């Protein structure tokens, strides 16, 4: 250790107050975190790239400072999906400090990692008061049974009004309109279910019909339009 001349000439004075860090809530306990291995918790966060062209929702499950589970969901530019694929390989097994200082290629994913780091080291995790935390695999619960991201895609113009394109239920195939051309429901196809039906041996047309659904007063519609070309 190198000290300046001014410090060398100082006489020592005892420091009386030394109570350590304030405890943070972690998985049902209050922890005085002094090292990375003291950090535990499952949490979510979002990040964005510099031009704000896309965003990432990142979910991490940290045990003893190590990322045991990572869920990376992106929306925006096409390159983000490839970066997410790399991040799924890079993140698990790293400490949260290593992950913070690792280039995750996409700025949105890097920013999400930064935001999650801040949340989790301050004890602001989703499992702060859950005794024992959540098991590895809990991150998939956000995706539901079909293991697909929950996406809503809507578009609207002043001239032509709103268009529903994608709902949590699936790809919107038709918008139900009443006599005043107001939306009263929609038809959709669950692409996840359709794919599963095909994997189990159904032909595409049969799978398409089996994966159809609707919401709202579709039966009362004056007309149904295709939101992508009408």
- So what's the pLDDT on residue 77? 86
CA distances in angstroms from 78 to 106, 165, 182, 206, listed in the order given: 11, 19, 34, 31
Q: Are 115 and 46 in contact (CB under 8 A)?
A: yes
Averaged pLDDT score across all residues of the chain: 94
Name the pLDDT band for 1 (thresholds 50, 70, 90): very high
- So what's the pLDDT on residue 200? 95
* Residues 6+ away with beta carbon under 8 Å from 127: 26, 27, 40, 41, 42, 43, 133, 134
Q: CA nearest 169: which of 190, 185, 187, 183? A: 190
Pairwise CA distance, residues 158 & 151, whole Å: 24
68 torsion bin: left (phi>0), alpha (psi -120 to 50), beta (else): alpha
Measure the CA dihedral 114/86/144/137, to 10°.
Answer: -80
Name the 3-class secondary structure at 70. Answer: strand
- So what's the pLDDT on residue 165? 97
């Amino acid at each position: 250790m190198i000290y300046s001349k001014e410090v060398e000439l100082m006489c020592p004075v005892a420091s009386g107050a030394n109570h350590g860090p304030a405890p943070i809530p972690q998985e049902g306990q209050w922890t005085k975190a002094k090292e990375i291995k003291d950090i535990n918790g499952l949490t979510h966060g979002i990040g964005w790239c510099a031009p704000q062209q896309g965003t990432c929702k990142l979910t991490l499950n940290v045990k003893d400072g190590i990322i045991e589970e990572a869920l990376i969901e992106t929306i925006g530019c096409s390159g983000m999906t490839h970066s997410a694929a790399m991040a799924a390989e890079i993140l698990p097994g790293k400490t949260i400090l290593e992950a913070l200082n690792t280039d995750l290629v996409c700025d949105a994913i890097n920013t999400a990692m930064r935001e999650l780091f801040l949340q989790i080291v301050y004890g602001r995790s989703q499992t702060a008061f859950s005794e024992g935390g959540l098991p590895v695999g809990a991150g998939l619960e956000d995706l539901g049974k079909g293991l697909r991201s929950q996406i809503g895609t809507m578009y609207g113009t002043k001239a032509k009004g709103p268009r529903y394109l994608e709902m949590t239920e699936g790809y919107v195939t038709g918008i139900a309109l009443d006599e005043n051309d107001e939306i009263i429901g929609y038809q959709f196809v669950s692409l996840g279910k359709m794919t599963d039906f095909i994997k189990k041996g159904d032909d595409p047309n049969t799978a398409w019909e089996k994966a159809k659904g609707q919401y709202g007063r579709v039966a009362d519609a004056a007309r149904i339009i295709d939101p992508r070309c009408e």
